[in-house]
Amino acid sequence: MADKGSHRLRVAEWVAIIWLAIIGFAAVFGPLLPLQDPTAQGECTTKQPKRELDASGSPVVVDGKYRLIAQPGCDFQKAADDRSAAKPSSAHLLGNDQIGRDLLSRVVAGARTSIFVSVGSVLAALVIGGGIGMVSAYVGGKVDAAVTLFSAAMVALPGLVLAISFVAALGRTMFAVWAALTVGAIPMVALVSRIQSLSLIQREYVVAAKALGATHSRVLLREVLPNLLPFAFVFVGLGFAGAVAAEGGLALIGLSVDQPATSWGAIIGDGKALLETAPHISLIPSVVMFLTIWAATRLTDHLTDRLGVRGSAL
């Protein structure tokens, strides 16, 4: 919570912004960065396009897709053992996981899942939930009462329960996790959007627009919606932080994206069994996750003060 009246960004906020920028960059451009393959288990495997011998016996690239190819003649087991759960070194800045995969590239690959799923679900929940709340407030009456009652009851439900069903039905895909997190976030957004819309709808300019004969959609989109944006920003921050943690939780119990994709929670889960001998495997992704959630919360607090959005509204 920043001091009231002081809207300048302080050191902590700058740290938060820079951290989120780094994570965002890693999520978007991760596959293009000069990192090791996040699935390569030792020096014996390299990433190459698959080649097959043609009729004349010379190798041709099959489909241009890169696959992990074991180097012939290499002691695969030994190479993996050498790097298994290795501590950070100059060759592997964050060390290696239990089967010798480079942790830095895994954390970067995990950022892609964690960030994409979280941002995607927050935005979808914002549009759907925000829309439901706004329309419900505008329509009023029994519809509004039912929407409110239902959303309020759903808010208390732990998102994890619905999420597990989504993953069980749709498989361990990014889509299933995204859908689960989105559905879980909608009721809260709908409630907040409804409450804010309710007070906006009674304002003079909205009443005036109605009196001038503006259509319902015009009133909602041109008069009400723009004034909901400050709350949308605050929700994006808080919702994102919650989604990162939720995805992490799902992944930790093995119900987020399946191999070869990974996420921060999955890496934490991978290292769980080795807490005694190689704590860095779990610790590094959980620190990354913590900093990301902290940064989002910190910036949201700042924004809340800055936009004059009352904290209790959320």
Spatial separation of the C-alpha atoms in residues 247 and 6, rounded to whole Å: 35
**Is the C-alpha dihedral spanning 274, 275, 280, 284 positive or negative?**
positive
Q: Which of 54, 63, 276, 308 binds another protein (CB under 8 A)?
A: 276
Return the amino acid letter for 282: S
| 3-state SS class at 62 | strand
* Residues in 222-251 at the binding interface with another protein, rule: CB under 8 A: 241, 245, 248-249
The reply to whether 140 sits near another protein by the rule CB under 8 A is no
Contact code string over 170-189 relative to another protein, x by CB under 8 A: x-------------------
Q: Which residue has the tokens 């319902």?
A: 216
Residues found in the chain: 314
The reply to whether 133 sits near another protein by the rule CB under 8 A is no
Q: Which of 84, 227, 294, 306 binds another protein (CB under 8 A)?
A: 294
Contact code string over 27-66 relative to another protein, x by CB under 8 A: ----------------------------------------
Quote the least distance from Cβ 268 to another protein, whole Å.
Answer: 6
Q: Which residue has the tokens 């009246």?
A: 5
Spatial separation of the C-alpha atoms in residues 9 and 2, rounded to whole Å: 9
| 3-state SS class at 44 | coil
Quote the least distance from Cβ 281 to another protein, whole Å.
Answer: 10
DSSP 245-260: HHHHHHHHTT-SSPTT
Choice between 33 and 149, CB closer to another protein: 149
The reply to whether 195 sits near another protein by the rule CB under 8 A is no
Helix (H) or strand (E) holding 218: helix 216-218
Quote the least distance from Cβ 63 to another protein, whole Å.
Answer: 30
The reply to whether 298 sits near another protein by the rule CB under 8 A is yes
